[in-house]
Structure 1
Amino acid sequence: MSTTAKRALWAVLLLACAGLVWLALSGTLAIGRAPISAAPSPAASASGTPAPESAAPTVAPSTSAPASAAAPSQAPAEESEPAAEPSDEAAPSQEPTEAEAPSTEPAEAEAPSTKPAEADAPAWQGLMTGPAAPWESIDAAPVHVEVHQDGERIVGASVEHTQMNEAGELDPDPQTVGWYGAPQWGTDPGERSPYAGILAGHVVYYGVKDVFWNLDAVRAGDVVVLTYDDGSQAVFEADADAVSVEKEALTQDPANRWAWEPGGDDARLTLITCDLVPGTGMAGNAFNNWVVQATRVA
Structure 2
Amino acid sequence: MTTPPTRRQKWRERKQYRRTTWLIAAAVALFIGGGAAAGAWWTQRDDDPSALPVGTYVPPSEITEPSRQPESSSSTSQRSSSSSSSSSPSAAAQRSDASPSSEQGSVEAPAGSPTRVQVRSGGRDIVDASLEATLLDSEKVLAPPFGTAGWYAEPGWPKPGYQGASILVGHINHGSNPDVFWNLPRVKIGDVVTVTYGSGRTVKFKITKSEPASKKGVPQDDSIWDWDNPNPVLRLITCDPETPINQGHYEGNWVVWADQMVS
TM-score bin (small chain): 0.5 to 0.7
Q: Is the 8 A contact 1:276 1:285 kept in 2?
A: no
CA deviation vs aligned residue, 1:102-133 (integer Å, no higher than 9, x gap): xxxxxxxxxxxxxxxxxxxxxxxxxxxxxxxx
Unaligned runs of 5+ in 2: 1-47, 53-74, 97-105
Partners of 1:137 and 1:236 in 2: CA distance: 13
1:214 equivalent among 172, 176, 183: 183
Distance 1:206 1:213 in 2: 12
CA deviation after TM superposition for structure 1 residue 135, in Å: 3.8
1:249: Cα distance to partner? 2.4
Q: Distance in 2 between matches of 1:146 and 1:291?
A: 16
Which among 224, 227, 240 is matched to residue 275 of structure 1? 240
Partners of 2:248 and 2:173 lie apart in 1 by: 8
1:97-136 superposed matches below 5 A: 135=107
**Which of 125, 132, 150 is the matching residue for 1:160?**
132
Which amino acid in structure 2 is aligned with residue 28 of structure 1? S
1:228-243 counterparts in 2 under 5 A?
A: 228-240=197-209, 242-243=210-211
- What's the secondary structure of 2:216's corresponding residue? helix
Report the count of equivalent residues: 176
Q: Distance in 2 between matches of 1:271 and 1:250?
A: 12
* Partner AA of 2:211 in structure 1: V
Following superposition, the deviation at residue 279 of structure 1 comes to 4.9
Q: Aligned equivalents of 1:165 and 1:41: distance in 2?
A: 10
CA distance in 1, matches of 2:228, 2:157: 14
Partner-residue secondary structure (3-state), 1:212: coil
Match of 2:116 in 1: 144
Identity %: 33
Match of 2:37 in 1: none
Give 2:25's aligned residue. none
1:42 aligned onto 2:89: yes
Which one has more relative contact order, counting CA pairs under 8 Å at least 6 apart?
Answer: 1
Partner of 2:193: 224
What residue is the counterpart of 2:215 in the other structure? 247
Alignment CA distance shift 1:45-1:29 (3 Å) = farther
Structure 1 segment 182-193 matched on structure 2, within 5 A: 182-183=154-155, 185-191=156-162, 193=163
TM-score by length of 1: 0.52
TM-superposed deviation, 1:167 = 4.1
> What is the rounded CA distance, in whole Å, between the counterparts of 1:149 and 1:214 in structure 2?
10
Q: Which residue of 2 aligns with 1:65?
A: none
Q: Per-residue displacement from partner, 1:60-115 (whole Å, max 9, x unpaired)?
A: xxxxxxxxxxxxxxxxxxxxxxxxxxxxxxxxxxxxxxxxxxxxxxxxxxxxxxxx
1:200 pairs, out of 143, 146, 169, with 169
Does the 8 Å contact 1:146/1:154 carry over to 2?
A: yes
TM-fit CA distance, 1:189: 1.1
Q: Secondary structure, in 3 states, of the residue corresponding to 1:216?
A: helix
- Cα RMSD over matched residues? 3.0
Q: Could you say if the C-alpha distance between residues 278 and 47 of structure 1 is closer, same or farther in structure 2, counting changes exceeding 3 Å? A: closer
Residue in structure 2 matching 1:258, options 193, 218, 223 = 223
The structure whose Rg is larger is: 1
Counterpart of 1:176, as a letter, is: T
Identify the range of structure 1 (206-215 vs 259-268) with the bigger mean alpha-carbon deviation: 259-268
| Deviation (angstroms), 1:234 | 0.5
The equivalences for 1:52-63 within 5 A come to none
